[in-house]
Amino acid sequence: MNIFKIKINFEEASKPSVELPIAEGESVLDVCLDNGIELQHNCGGVCGCSTCQVYVNRGMDNIEEISDKEEDFIDRAVNPRINSRLGCQCVIIDGDIEVTLPDQNQFLGH
């Protein structure tokens, strides 16, 4: 199994970026949860909501292709962008990735 790097940036200015290992077949959501990084996932990480949205800054070719179902949920996300993906669906297939996590405070109480 190949191990790559993920760089995680945060919209909140008070949080510094972190670089962590990410294994082939692992998702961005998995790495966040395993490392105590807050990333909402109301559906439990099964592509059933849009709360784990992330922005992929680099490495879009290193993750699985977007599905129609995922695209539908991204359309409902808060502030979707052209590089939006769901963290639970950003599964590494080959190479490093860099993402930005939206401000998680917008989900407090959800």
Sorted by where each starts, the structural domains of the chain and their CATH numbers stand as 3-104 (3.10.20.30)
Q: What confidence tier does 110 reach under pLDDT thresholds 50, 70, 90?
A: very low
Paired with 6 in beta bridges are 20, 97
Does this model's pTM top 0.85? yes
Q: Element (H or E) spanning 6, and its range? A: strand 3-10
Structure tokens given for 7: 């760089």
Across 20-28, average pLDDT: 98
Q: CA–CA distance from 63 to each of 66, 104, 105, 108, 109 (Å)?
A: 9, 23, 27, 28, 31
Q: What is the pLDDT of residues 30-85, one digit of tens each?
A: 999 999 999 999 999 999 999 999 999 999 999 999 999 999 999 999 999 999 99
Q: What are phi and psi of 6, to 5 degrees?
A: -120, 130
pLDDT of amino acid 105: 84
